[in-house]
Amino acid sequence: MFPGTHASTRPDHPAIVMAGSGAVTTYAELDKRSAAVASALYDMGLRRGDVIALLSDNAAPALEIYWAALRSGLYITAVNWHLAPEEAAYIVNDSGAQVLFASAGIGDLAADLVALTPSVRRRYAFGGSIVGHDAYAGLLDRDWPPLPAQPRGAEMLYSSGTTGRPKGIKPRLLDIQVDEPGDPIVGMLGHAFGITPGDVYLSPAPIYHTAPLKWCGGVLALGGTVVLMERFDAGAALAAIERYRVTVTQMVPTMFIRMLQLPDEARAAFDVSSLRLAVHAAAPCPPDVKDAMIAWWGPILVEYYGATEQHGTTLITTPEWQRKRGSVGRAALGVIHICDDGGVELPNGEVGTVYFERDTTPFEYHNDPAKTAESRHPQHDNWSTVGDMGYVDDEGYLFLTDRKAFMIISGGVNIYPQEIENVLALHPCVADVAVIGLPDPEMGEQVKAVVQLREGITGSEDLAQEIIDYVRQRIAHYKAPRSVDFTDELPRTPTGKLAKRLLVNRYLEVAQ
């Protein structure tokens, strides 16, 4: 399935709607434009397995270019536009992209990349002009011959880079044509989430990120309508749900928290009764936050756990979660194995590294065989991990504890920051929180909470002690922070992930 399938039966059906402006791209337009770009790329000499780069804010042409790659056997690398020019250039250069498409909305960054990415042969700008770029519209105006074949391409996306330089995740290209079944993500959206041509999907997150991009692509493959928010705003998201009668949305927990922080009367002003499914992922959701969302939206929340590497996936519905509070669900893609540092599989209930076993060849980190090898199990090459820690209970439900890199060992005891962050997520004074471990001469590491306060609240020694006591009242005392610092803003990626390594490094640099 792909947009061309639906263009032949429902050409005027909305494929993409921009939430703010209401601008509509129909399936006929999406099919025609993506076909033209695919043919243009073929004419430039690009063939199956070659790479194009996309530097775009949330704009409809980005999804046209995405489908141009997927219907011509190409890899598409979407670049985080919040990066500095040198960081973005690293991704473009490392990917081997031959053509770059850029949105005029981030034209300054695109212009800066011209000198930094000399291997890019052609550059195109949409939504306006950019220095050093040809007009994207010029590709659409020509009468291109159709492609001789339409092998299915894939995304080659880069990890967020919160623990080092971003890594390109290169999946194996499927040996199918674009209109043939076989994409596991599209299959999961259809079977596990029940996406149909009648669904209206609200996408509030930046589409350079894996989940928003692949979900938008999957919804379009299945014939639904994507309502694309130009940027996330809590009130605007609720307004879009009401205006477009949204049936499905996907958010990250930070977005839930922002909506819950709206005044009660503001939340009550919007009709969200059209929603049948609210999916959340990308970061752990504090249980109290999830409880509050269920109380507001009903038992329609479904959580999934996965990664850009697409090495495996778990799912859990609201009724399951209420019975298995804190779990991220059972395996929906792959088989879960929990192993110790030596690769020995652990019994149920014991914390270890989370591996997924897949029948197909796992992902590869582009241009980095050493990191690829690190992701594999010592004895099983088709078992892979992204470094998360957790345990499985007797019914096969996975409970994550934290990233291995951020586990705190204090006095020889393992402490998982996520557990403490979950406790503080709905403290009445806390807008955002990160818990980190810092060197301690006696205990090895000590627990520190770094807190962003809600608007109008000022940090003080008394408030810091109140926060420590708040944690002690709810979990074991040894897990409570030894100290609390206040900050204006925590470093989070636009997709809601906490860039904890940046925060830790700040403290380590000061201590030197």
Helix (H, G, I), strand (E, B) or coil at 282: coil
pLDDT at 162 (0 to 100): 43
What CATH topology corresponds to 407-511? GMP Synthetase; Chain A, domain 3 (3.30.300)
For 498, other C-beta atoms within 10 Å of its C-beta total 24
For residue 456, give every residue at least 6 positions away whose Cβ sits within 8 Å of its Cβ, in sequence order, or none: none
- Burial (CB count <10 Å: 0-12, 13-18, 19+), residue 373: exposed
What's the chain's length in residues? 512
Residue 219 corresponds to which tokens in the numbers above?
Answer: 């919804």
* 330-333 and 313-317 strand pairing: antiparallel
Mark 226-238 as b/e (b = at least 16 C-beta within 10 Å).
bbbbeebbbebbb
For residue 236, give every residue at least 6 positions away whose Cβ sits within 8 Å of its Cβ, in sequence order, or none: 19, 20, 229
Q: Where are the domains of the chain?
A: 3-227, 407-511
Cα atoms in the Cβ-side hemisphere of radius 13 Å centred on 166: 27
- Dihedral sign for Cα 371, 373, 377, 381, please: positive
Helix (H, G, I), strand (E, B) or coil at 323: helix
- Dihedral sign for Cα 378, 380, 386, 392, please: negative
Helix runs in 263-390, H state only: 264-268, 287-297, 318-323, 369-374
Domain 3-227 has CATH 3.40.50.12780: yes
Three-state secondary structure of 378-407: CCCCCEECCCEEEEECCCCCEEEEEEHHHC
Residue 232 corresponds to which tokens in the numbers above?
Answer: 């996330």
pLDDT at 412 (0 to 100): 67
For 365, other C-beta atoms within 10 Å of its C-beta total 19
Cβ atoms of 279 and 303 closer than 8 Å: yes
Cβ atoms of 393 and 324 closer than 8 Å: yes
* 225-228 and 14-18 strand pairing: parallel
Global confidence as pTM: 0.82
For residue 246, give every residue at least 6 positions away whose Cβ sits within 8 Å of its Cβ, in sequence order, or none: 200, 201, 202, 227, 240, 274, 275
Tokens 């608007």 identify what position? 455
CA distances from 464 to 458, 467, 475 (A): 11, 5, 17
Q: In the chain, which residues have pLDDT < 70?
A: 160-164, 361, 402, 404-405, 412, 494-495, 511-512
pLDDT at 502 (0 to 100): 85
* 413-415 and 408-410 strand pairing: antiparallel
pLDDT at 164 (0 to 100): 54
Residues 417 and 225: their CA atoms lie apart, in Å, by: 39
pLDDT at 61 (0 to 100): 98
pLDDT tens readout for residues 143-190? 999 998 999 999 999 986 444 578 899 999 999 999 999 998 899 999
Of 61, 98, 58, residue with least CA distance to 80: 58
pLDDT at 63 (0 to 100): 98
Cβ atoms of 437 and 410 closer than 8 Å: yes
